[in-house]
Structure 1
Amino acid sequence: MIIKAENLSKIYHGITVLDQVSISCTEGNICGVLGANGAGKTTLFRILMGLVSPNSGTVKIYSDTVKPMGGIIEKPALYEYLNAYENLNLFARIQNLKLKKAEIGECLHAVGLPVGRKDAVKNYSMGMKQRLSIAIALLNNPSCLVLDEPFSGLDPMGIEELRRLILKLAKERNIGVLISSHIIDQLQKVCDYLYVMKEGRIINKGSTSEIIATNVKHYTIYAKNIQESVAVRQYAPILAKDSAKISIESKEVTALIKEMFKEGIEVTSFIPELDMDRLFSKNY
């Protein structure tokens, strides 16, 4: 266990922003917090980072490192007129960390940024700024990384690159990672565990696979000549070219794919479509 928060509540101007929220994350795991804008995700992360005090509840961090937690809240906070090297050097000094030039280069390389680039970060893409902010957050080797809406403003390639980086950091450094987003597609491909927030409360939680399996509305299957499949037709599919949309229980999916294989039809992908009304209506 890296971080454990229990029964966090926060009230602003008489409005309850967080209501008895409990959340935790362990070493090497990536936990997602899913919720619409205004659900309380940023307030929760500010409390976890020690930037805001809760009205009630506790946060325990199990780490003996110099900086137990690093993170990005809302958006990258960079000195836009400085280059990447200068930003890292400045933030390192703020954190009482003296880095040699080669060490700063290693920090940039670790997040996939060019080491020799000299221009100001105002010229960087949003994805590159996110990577630089993560490099800064990783200074002093924190045990937990908190990323508030890190995919916001990124193009599809930038999202995929950032996903790969987060997975790599969790695996290679064995750090806990907490990520928030209002889009489940961005979280389901990277998170081991999901918390679903609505109006300041955790209303749904579980492993990502469990959340997906219990809240799927339809699946779309992609395969050549899928319209010829007898196995698929029993589910009254909505057919398109090389695809079929069906309603099926998650436990039946494997058996269906095997039946299609016997028919000589090879499935290229099997995409779940979540029932968002169901996902956001459960209450734990």
Structure 2
Amino acid sequence: MRPELQRRVQRYGWDYSSPHYEEGWQHQLWPAQERLLRAANLKAGEKVLDISCGTGLVTFPIAEAVGAAGQVTGIDLSEEMIKKAAPIADKKGLSHVSFKHMDAEELDLPDGAFDAAINSLGLMYYPDPDKAVQEMHRVLKPGGRSAALVWGRRGACGWAEIFPIVDRRVNTDVCPLFFQLGTGETLQKTFEKAGFTEIKSERFNIDLHYDTDREAIIGAFLGGAVALAYRKFDEKTKDEAHGEYLDSIAQFRNENGYDIPGEFVITSGVKNEKL
């Protein structure tokens, strides 16, 4: 897919998923995102960039970590995500948080502006993740830190059948390399190419809990990467796809709902202070 088309697909897809994203993913992703923030080692008073911020699931914990003396900028390609995030910041009284509509591969931000840059589960969707990580490096101050979270290997993510299930009905146009950055040392090498030093990577597993069939369906079809394609389904097709997906995760069902395995990779690095 041409890069400009891929960006447009991602933009509109996440616009459509924005009303359902928190219900489908907020609690499920927090354990992994909390580890991401620990890897970033945020400090009070710092200026932090949250890339692909969505509705602010990571932005607001960052704001708490840096305190009112700090400054947090959240950017996302989806305008609808930003529209949901900004009022939440106002309601929370977080005057040191701002949101901007922006492409992660072309950050409209000055060199050396931030102490830290965070990317939570955004890199997999970009046409050129190498360029996005280079941009993260560019906007950091010398000595600044960056940390990114991506999904791990396809075979280790129990929800991954959502892609072929949807593709059998309509072309999702979701990046075909979705799991590549979480395979082997790919993400670490991306950081190395961008010029980061003191690079650390960790691979870990967390179960994604859904109480009901409905919650699992919302996360998979409405709140995630296939939302744009899912809009093309008629009711019969939706029912068939729902049933097939629930069958694919049936092995993870228990008396409390579903605990679906997910593998993640976190990579962090430091911008050389001599630059």
TM above 0.5: no
* Greater Cα radius of gyration, structure 1 or 2: 1
Quick check: which one's helix share is greater?
A: 2
* TM-score, structure 1 normalization: 0.28
Larger strand fraction of residues: 1
TM-score by length of 2: 0.29
Question: Of the two structures, which has the highest relative contact order with CA contacts closer than 8 Å and spacing of 6 or more?
Answer: 2
